[in-house]
Amino acid sequence: MATKTKTKPSSATFARTPKVPNFSETAIYIADLCAREAWLGKSYETGKKTSKKLDVEIIDKDGVVTKEVFPSVLSDENFLSIFATQLLRNAGISGVNTYKGGDSITFNNFGALLDAAQLNSAVNTNKSTVDIPNGLKFLKKDLAKLYKDWNKDSHKNPKPDLPKQMVKKLSEELCVKVNGTPTGNQPAIASRLLNFGFPDLCVYNYSTGIHRGLSLSTGDTSTLIDNYYTLLDEGYERNWHILSKYEMPISSKVNEVVWQRARNGGWWQRRIYDLALKIYFSDEDGNNYFSSFSPYVQEHIFTKPRAFDLIKPTQSPSAS
């Protein structure tokens, strides 16, 4: 008797155009599930919590370091609490304060964010050009001041270009300068810090996978970020009718004012959007999340609405 041999999953996929698609309900639903895993500090690929632990660190006004008694997980919920709480406090937002008025944006907590975002290589391979202390100082002082000014008159002057301008500035300030000119750029790290730090600003996470999927040039970083935001802004608006159906998870860790600002500012919808794009363009990183399915099925998962209606029954269910 012949035995069946397991077939290797096909890596074939469907052709993607270099633009943000009109996502299907299915694609956004899957991205929301992934976002909820990340919110809890779980891998949306394995369902397991990350092996690395986060010892949340606070440095008080006297320089005394306090760490949580019990380690936490590398979760979106924790990072939103760590970075937004201090930056909104620095911006003078009422009802927001850190533990004992201390500094929660420390090298320890920043390093944990790099671990979670898998961005350690962005620092380790550019050690001679990065200047993390200067970047964090600029974030906590200069950009908090920009946010404070925006918050005062955003209802009159929303400044839609402010998020990408902040990404550009922080990307440069995270790098060593020679004669006033930055020796590099760190848009991926800058966007993560700003995304968790100012959750009611429309900051998109920058990733090389999405960058390549959109066929953007790798020249001038300022122009790259401009083009990146132009495409993601347009796609975000097109997909808002689906994204807006999903509600941000409640939290027992995030300050209530911070959580409300994140919710009202569309932070959760942008997180879903970011993951939908990452999964959609995953082939650009050599990782097809749906490699077990045929190109036809993959395309329907992402972009074909109500795929189950495409095949019509040839006979009424009530027919005898």
- What is the mean pLDDT, run by run of 10 residues, along the chain of 320 residues? 43 81 94 94 87 88 81 92 97 92 93 94 89 97 97 90 98 96 96 98 96 90 96 98 97 96 98 96 71 80 63 44
Return the pLDDT at 99.
Answer: 80
Side-chain half-sphere of 38: how many Cα atoms within 13 Å?
19
Closest CA to 232 of 160, 301, 315, 293: 160
Return the pLDDT at 122.
Answer: 87
Side-chain half-sphere of 84: how many Cα atoms within 13 Å?
26
Return the pLDDT at 308.
Answer: 45
What are all long-range contacts of 18-22, with beta carbons under 8 Å and residues at least 24 apart?
18/213, 18/214, 18/215, 19/214, 19/231, 19/235, 20/214, 20/231, 20/232, 20/234, 20/235, 20/236, 20/238, 20/239, 20/277, 21/235, 21/280, 21/302, 21/303, 22/238, 22/239, 22/303
Reduced to 3 states (helix: H, G, I; strand: E, B; else coil), residue 74 is: coil
Classify strands 53-54 and 57-59 as parallel, antiparallel or unpaired. unpaired
Side-chain half-sphere of 52: how many Cα atoms within 13 Å?
15
Return the pLDDT at 67.
Answer: 86
Tokens of 119: 């961005």
Reduced to 3 states (helix: H, G, I; strand: E, B; else coil), residue 266 is: coil
* CA-atom Rg of the chain in angstroms: 22
